[in-house]
Amino acid sequence: MSRKTTIPEEFGTILCKFCNANITNMIRIICGECENTTICTDCLKEGKEGSGHKSGHKYRIIRPTQTHIFSTEWTMDEEILLLEATEKYGICNWEDISIYVGKTTKQCEDHYTEVYLNSTAFPLPDFEQQKLDEIAKYKIPAKKKKRSKTSDIENEDMLIPDLYRSGPREGQRLTNFAIHTDFMPLRKEFEFEYDFDAEEIIAEMGLHDNKIPWSIKMGVLQVYMDRVYNRETRKNFVISRDFLEKKNNEERIPGGKFNWELKKNEPQIYTELRVFNRLFDSQEQYVEFFNSVIEEIRNKKKIQQYQEWRRNGITLESDGKFFETEHKKRDSRKKPERISRRNRKKKWPKESFSLRTDPDSPMDLSSVSVELLSKPEQEICSISRILPQQYFAVKNLLITEYLASPNLFSMDKAVSLIHGIKKPHAELLIGFFAQNNWVVIK
């Protein structure tokens, strides 16, 4: 936003020819073909014409003077800013004044005290005649010579600013990703900025309009400046954190390639953690935070690996590496079993047993660990179609129940204790136990 400054008449006031804006202390444009034609940058941008002036005329850019009045460290423009700030924020509010002027609080306080408060001509500053003569001698720099005979522009000061030149400058590169995001690297601006319509609140407001109280105008300007500050903060964040450069996640993270064990996870982790980037003052702090998170994840994974080794009885790292190698080889040899949807059937192995089947043929126990059973027990298991493990479970259950209450042990009670076996098979087992005097039926 352009700053409108009130300048005393004795110093002279420069107004724009078309909009009558006060541009005394602002960058202004002087037409090189029209006499006494000074316009502001906004009117130049809009291409306004009138009184013989055309938008295609050559022009020169005049910047605010850098003349020093009271001190070699303070220019005339900074002196005006200091007076504006003291009027706006108060003499003792040096912190806000320093932000407004662009110098430190000590510099503002010392300069104001020395030049204005301790002046021999108080309340006015001490204007020495020599300094006033230097100001009066200041002239606009003369035009430079022609650059070339074939040049369409005779004066180098009338060249179009670099912002409008095509092609990237040295040290700058324009990636396709930046083009797709409407970013203009020469201007360091986006075609569509954040809060794009922030200027609408001041577009129709005139500072010299007496119908609106000055306090309301200043309030509107403060709201506008806050919105512009948020816009610049977001833009600077995007540019400084390299979000406009479309890089791989591996290229964004200093320190080289990822650990091969976490290669599939780390890029995703980096993307998920980018939301915390705005909490850090610099990219280096965020990278340090990211590296600490990755280190924690890697350490947890390593601890889990060590715990798995210990459960398998491994105490040496060399044995653990051999274990992992063999484990991967075994997993690579496994092939998924493909079963046709049309002919999908469950094929049970010979040692499998279904308690709900009752075929006529005895069960083949040749492939089961039958060495734990005696010959009679093998025969009863084959007839009853139960596995040795099931047989031992039923035997242990009935003997335990009989020893707990021998006087109450009966055939019906024993049958009710055996679940999943049909009653004829259960009675056959109980009779076998009674025949061997392991239980007594009442």
One digit per residue, the tens of pLDDT, for the chain of length 442 reads: 344 443 333 334 678 888 888 776 678 888 888 887 888 888 888 888 888 888 888 888 887 766 777 887 887 778 888 888 888 888 888 888 888 887 888 889 898 988 888 887 777 787 664 455 555 555 444 444 444 444 444 444 443 344 333 344 433 444 444 555 677 777 777 877 888 788 888 887 776 777 778 888 888 888 989 998 988 888 888 877 777 765 544 445 544 444 434 456 677 777 788 788 888 888 788 888 888 888 888 888 889 988 888 887 788 888 888 888 888 887 777 655 444 444 454 444 443 333 344 444 555 555 455 677 888 888 888 888 888 888 888 888 888 888 888 888 888 888 888 887 888 888 888 888 888 888 888 7
Tell me, what's the pLDDT at 353?
Answer: 37
Handedness of CA 213, 218, 224, 230 (dihedral sign): negative
Residue 91 is predicted with a pLDDT of: 80
Q: Is 343 exposed, middle or buried (CB count within 10 Å of its CB: 0-12, 13-18, 19+)?
A: exposed
Quote the pLDDT of residue 153. 40
- Please give the pLDDT value at position 148: 46
pLDDT at 421: 81
- The pLDDT of residue 154 is 43
- CA atoms of 414 and 402, how far apart (whole Å): 9
C-alpha closest to that of 99 among 82, 87, 114, 115:
82
- Residue 53, classed as helix, strand or coil, is strand
State the pLDDT at residue 329.
82
Which token pair is 197?
Answer: 């319509």
pLDDT at 131: 57
Looking at 3.40.50.10800, 1.10.10.10, 3.40.50.720, 1.10.1840.10, the CATH number of the domain 370-435 comes to 1.10.10.10
Q: Which two tokens stand for residue 112?
A: 């104001």
Q: Class for domain 1-65+138-164, per CATH?
A: alpha beta
53 forms bridges with which residues in the sheet? 50
How many C-beta neighbours within 10 Å does residue 433 have? 19
> For position 66, what pLDDT does the model report?
66
Query: What is residue 379's predicted lDDT score, i.e. its pLDDT?
Result: 85
- pTM for the whole structure: 0.32
Nearest to 26 by CA among 79, 66, 64: 64
C-alpha to C-alpha distances, 172 to 187, 193, 384, 432, nearest whole angstrom: 12, 21, 88, 95
Alpha helices for 24-175 (secondary structure H) = 41-46, 76-89, 94-101, 105-112, 129-137
Q: Is 159 helix (H, G, I), strand (E, B) or coil?
A: coil
- For 342, phi and psi rounded to 5 degrees? -75, -40
Output the pLDDT for position 159: 39
